[in-house]
Amino acid sequence: MLKELLQRYPELKVIESEIYSAKEAVIECYKNGGKLLMCGNGGSCADCEHIVGELMKGFLKKRPLSEAKKAEMKANNPCLEEDILNKLQQALPAISLPSMTALNSAFCNDVDPVLVYAQPLMSLGGKNDLLIAISTSGNSANVCAAAKVAKALGIKVIGLTGGSGGKLKNTADICVCVPQTETFKIQELHLPVYHYICAAVEEEFFEN
């Protein structure tokens, strides 16, 4: 799967090891019972939502519920229809921190907008979780603050940036710095990187 990504996007070859390490970190997070947390601004905010969409439902696979899970749910609620059980899909927990508009707007107004992602991280972050901090420059103040707080909470950080990685590279445990410097070109490479990670993680955990 990684080989295919590099064939389609040969410029990513220079960060092959970082991409592989990021994928392994996400798999480790889920194997340890953790969840994925993400933050970013603008297009990177949209990328957070995109990643959630690939992980919380079927991406390349249908991910049907196991017969054991269906039986457990039916035992808990005998009124639950088979049609519902047959349509539900297995998921990997992932949260986009920018999606919490009420909390985020209140905190920005009442306290400090730089800590807009650090605050929900304080509530939701656990030691087995993983933060994906997305910033094309690597210097977004609110994303860097969230990364610092994550490290202080014992949460591993993956940075997804461009160019040199900016300040985020010094904080992140793994920094995937795609080899572009213009914002839209960086974002164009971020998408295939996280699509690869989502597909590889799905392959690891689901048979169908």
Residues 95 and 131 occupy one common structural domain: yes
Residues 34 and 83 occupy one common structural domain: no
Residues 26 and 124 occupy one common structural domain: yes
Using the predicted structure, report yes or no on whether residue 208 has a pLDDT greater than 90. Answer: no
Of 90, 106, 137, the domain-final residue: 90
**Residue range 70-92, pLDDT digits in tens:** 999 999 999 999 999 999 999 99
64, 208 in Cβ contact below 8 A?
A: yes
The answer to pTM > 0.75 is yes
Which residue has 């047959």 as its token pair?
86
Q: Domain containing 130: what range?
A: 2-56+91-205
The two tokens of residue 186 are 């960086």
Average pLDDT value for the chain: 97
**What is the C-alpha separation between 202 and 188, in angstroms, rounded?**
22
**What is the C-alpha separation between 174 and 134, in angstroms, rounded?**
12
Helices 183-205 and 43-55: crossing angle in degrees, nearest 10, is: 10
Helices 183-205 and 16-31: crossing angle in degrees, nearest 10, is: 40
CA distances, 134 to each of 23, 70, 98, 130, 189 (Å) = 15, 37, 12, 13, 12
Q: Which residues contact 27 (CB under 8 A, 6 or more apart)?
A: 200, 201, 204
In this prediction, residue 52 has a pLDDT band, given cuts at 50, 70 and 90, of very high
In this prediction, residue 179 has a pLDDT band, given cuts at 50, 70 and 90, of very high
**What is the reported pLDDT for 64?**
97
Residues 78 and 97 occupy one common structural domain: no
Residues 20 and 71 occupy one common structural domain: no
Domain count, the chain: 2
- Residue 105 sits in a domain of what CATH number? 3.40.50.10490
**Residue range 108-165, pLDDT digits in tens:** 999 999 999 999 999 999 989 999 999 999 999 999 999 999 999 999 999 999 999 9
Residues 102 and 154 occupy one common structural domain: yes
Residues 96 and 86 occupy one common structural domain: no
DSSP track, 61-121: S--BPPHHHHHHHHHH-TT--HHHHHH-B----EEEGGG-HHHHHHHHHHT-GGGTTHHHH
Q: Among residues of the chain, what percentage have pLDDT more than 90?
A: 98
Residues 82 and 173 occupy one common structural domain: no
